[in-house]
């Protein structure tokens, strides 16, 4: 029996048997309150190592997920000098995928970099340039990179991604393909992650194509369409920063429930009528309100659920939550 099991295991690892994705929310919000902004961890469930999808918040998110027992399957050596938070941060996160250089997507990475280990930072050229020239430059922060101004501490290796080109993510068996998005005329990124023939699409900040005068979202939908048809797309992570009362001129490169529904109309054009039913859609980057009696998360949730034209399955994960697809 044991022999049979190990033979089966060997075969399944050779053919790359898909075990699915785990997504842990490090930070669920799109700014305003520090300690819970734009950051996720993703891994192949059959593996121990994660990559981060943006890094607005890192350490408080790991702490929260530990409290909720959401790293339970990971092996942490008993004799390590590091706390569980420290060990997961240093050893289990193998790299960072950064969608764009805005502060709310990098602040956790920067502030915890003094305790980090050698890792890769992946991004499009524009993102890497921002990190290199404006962040890790000894003026805003010491140069922890392998390129750029002054003495290079060489902790982070910049991995410049090329649009539509697939790349292996070191230390994991995930692969990524990036696509360019328009975020108030600034470049942002959709990362298409692949895990043994299964996919997950992570959108950084993005405005509606019509408002941005862009084809960015539509170009990504052309890629996702066939994957939805073949039932290979496990989930989409996309932002809804504001509720639908926000005027188009005040969106500044963000989406609302109304616009998500509009954009799904375009997606359905490429995936086929009725094909979005039950598609897992994770809402990110909700901008909290500081007004009395104004709960932006509840408002956005209500709007999306009440006007769910394509019958997708929405998720609104909070910090520390784990989702599996
Ligand atoms: Zn943002
Ligand atoms: Zn942004």
Task: List pLDDT tens digits, range 177-236.
Answer: 999 999 999 999 999 999 999 999 999 999 999 999 999 999 999 999 999 999 999 999
Task: Examine residue 1 and state whether it is found in any structural domain, yes or no.
Answer: no
pLDDT beyond 60 at 11? no
Domain that holds residue 153: 19-324
User: 205 CA distance to ligand 2 centroid (A)?
Assistant: 5
| Order of strands, sheet of 233-239, starting from the edge strand that comes earlier in the sequence | 167-168, 175-183, 186-195, 198-203, 233-239, 280-284, 313-315
User: 190 CA distance to ligand 1 centroid (A)?
Assistant: 13
pLDDT beyond 60 at 66? yes
User: 218 CA distance to ligand 2 centroid (A)?
Assistant: 19
How far apart are alpha carbons 55 and 32 in whole angstroms?
15
Asked if 202 contacts 224 with a C-beta cutoff of 8 angstroms, the reply is no
State the CATH number of the domain containing residue 45. Answer: 3.60.15.10
Q: Count other Cβ atoms within 10 Å, centred on residue 324.
A: 11
pLDDT beyond 90 at 1? no
Here the tokens at position 272 are 């086929």
User: 294 CA distance to ligand 1 centroid (A)?
Assistant: 20
pLDDT given at position 72: 86
Q: Count other Cβ atoms within 10 Å, centred on residue 48.
A: 17
Asked if 289 contacts 273 with a C-beta cutoff of 8 angstroms, the reply is no
- Determine what percent of the chain is predicted with pLDDT higher than 90: 93
Task: Examine residue 110 and state whether it is found in any structural domain, yes or no.
Answer: yes
End-to-end CA distance of the chain: give it in Å, rounded. Answer: 30
Give, as one character, the DSSP assignment of residue 133.
I
User: 4 CA distance to ligand 2 centroid (A)?
Assistant: 51
* pLDDT confidence tier of residue 7, bands split at 50, 70 and 90: low
How far apart are alpha carbons 305 and 314 in whole angstroms?
8
User: 192 CA distance to ligand 2 centroid (A)?
Assistant: 19
User: 241 CA distance to ligand 1 centroid (A)?
Assistant: 8
User: 252 CA distance to ligand 1 centroid (A)?
Assistant: 10
pTM above 0.85, yes or no: yes
Task: Examine residue 301 and state whether it is found in any structural domain, yes or no.
Answer: yes
How far apart are alpha carbons 37 and 40 in whole angstroms?
10
Burial class (CB in 10 A: 0-12, 13-18, 19+), 179: buried
The protein residues having their C-beta less than 5 angstroms from ligand 1 (an ion) are 102, 104, 205
pLDDT beyond 90 at 261? yes
User: For the chain, what is the radius of gyration of the CA atoms?
Assistant: 19
User: 287 CA distance to ligand 2 centroid (A)?
Assistant: 12
pLDDT given at position 12: 53
Mean pLDDT over each residue of the chain, to the nearest integer:
95
In the chain, the number of structural domains is 1
Q: Count other Cβ atoms within 10 Å, centred on residue 59.
A: 18
User: 236 CA distance to ligand 1 centroid (A)?
Assistant: 17
pLDDT given at position 109: 98
Asked if 42 contacts 193 with a C-beta cutoff of 8 angstroms, the reply is yes
Task: Examine residue 178 and state whether it is found in any structural domain, yes or no.
Answer: yes
21 CB-near residues (< 8 Å, 6+ apart): 42, 43, 44, 45, 193, 195, 198, 200, 234, 235, 324, 325
User: 5 CA distance to ligand 1 centroid (A)?
Assistant: 46
* pLDDT confidence tier of residue 18, bands split at 50, 70 and 90: confident
User: 115 CA distance to ligand 1 centroid (A)?
Assistant: 24
pLDDT beyond 70 at 6? no
Closest ligand (CA of 37): 1
Q: What is the full DSSP assignment across 40-99? A: EEEEETTSS-EEEEEESS-HHHHHHHHHTTTTTT----TT-SS-HHHHIIIIIEEEEE-S
User: 85 CA distance to ligand 1 centroid (A)?
Assistant: 25
User: 28 CA distance to ligand 2 centroid (A)?
Assistant: 14
Task: Examine residue 8 and state whether it is found in any structural domain, yes or no.
Answer: no
pLDDT beyond 70 at 254? yes
Task: Examine residue 146 and state whether it is found in any structural domain, yes or no.
Answer: yes
Extended beta strands in the chain, E state: 21-27, 39-44, 50-55, 93-97, 119-124, 156-161, 167-168, 175-183, 186-195, 198-203, 233-239, 280-284, 313-315, 322-324
Task: Examine residue 12 and state whether it is found in any structural domain, yes or no.
Answer: no
Nearest to 93 by CA among 123, 51, 128: 51
Report CA-CA distances (Å) from 289 to 132, 292, 321: 32, 8, 22
| 3 state DSSP class of 276 | coil
User: 103 CA distance to ligand 2 centroid (A)?
Assistant: 8
Task: Examine residue 84 and state whether it is found in any structural domain, yes or no.
Answer: yes
User: 184 CA distance to ligand 1 centroid (A)?
Assistant: 11
């Amino acid at each position: 029996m044991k022999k049979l099991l190990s033979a089966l295991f060997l075969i399944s690892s050779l053919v790359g048997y898909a075990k699915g994705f785990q997504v842990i929310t490090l930070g669920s919000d799109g700014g305003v309150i520090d300690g819970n902004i734009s950051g996720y961890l993703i891994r192949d469930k059959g593996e121990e190592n994660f990559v981060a999808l943006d890094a607005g918040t890192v350490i408080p998110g790991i702490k929260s997920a530990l409290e909720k027992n959401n790293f339970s399957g990971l092996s942490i050596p008993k004799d390590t000098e590091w706390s569980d938070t420290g060990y997961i941060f240093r050893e289990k996160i193998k790299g960072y995928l950064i969608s764009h250089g805005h502060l709310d997507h990098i602040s956790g990475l920067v502030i915890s970099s003094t305790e980090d280990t050698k890792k890769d930072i992946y991004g499009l050229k524009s993102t890497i340039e921002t990190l290199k020239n404006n962040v890790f430059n000894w003026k805003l922060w010491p140069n922890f990179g392998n390129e750029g101004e002054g003495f290079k501490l060489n902790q982070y290796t910049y991995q410049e991604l090329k649009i539509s080109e697939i790349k292996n993510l070191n230390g994991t068996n995930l692969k990524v393909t990036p696509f360019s998005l328009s975020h108030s005329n600034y470049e942002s990124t959709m990362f298409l992650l692949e895990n043994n023939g299964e996919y997950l699409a992570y959108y950084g900040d993005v405005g509606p194509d019509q408002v941005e005068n862009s084809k960015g979202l539509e170009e990504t939908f052309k890629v996702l369409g066939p994957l939805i048809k073949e039932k290979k797309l496990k989930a989409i992570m996309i932002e809804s920063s504001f509720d639908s009362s926000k005027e188009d001129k005040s969106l500044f490169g963000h989406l609302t429930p109304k616009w998500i529904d509009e954009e799904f109309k375009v997606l359905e054009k490429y995936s086929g009528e009725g094909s979005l039913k039950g598609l897992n859609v994770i809402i990110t980057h909700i901008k909290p309100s500081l007004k009395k009696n104004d709960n932006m998360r509840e408002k956005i949730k209500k709007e999306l659920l009440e006007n769910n034209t394509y019958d997708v399955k929405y998720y609104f994960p909070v910090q520390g939550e784990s989702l599996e697809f």
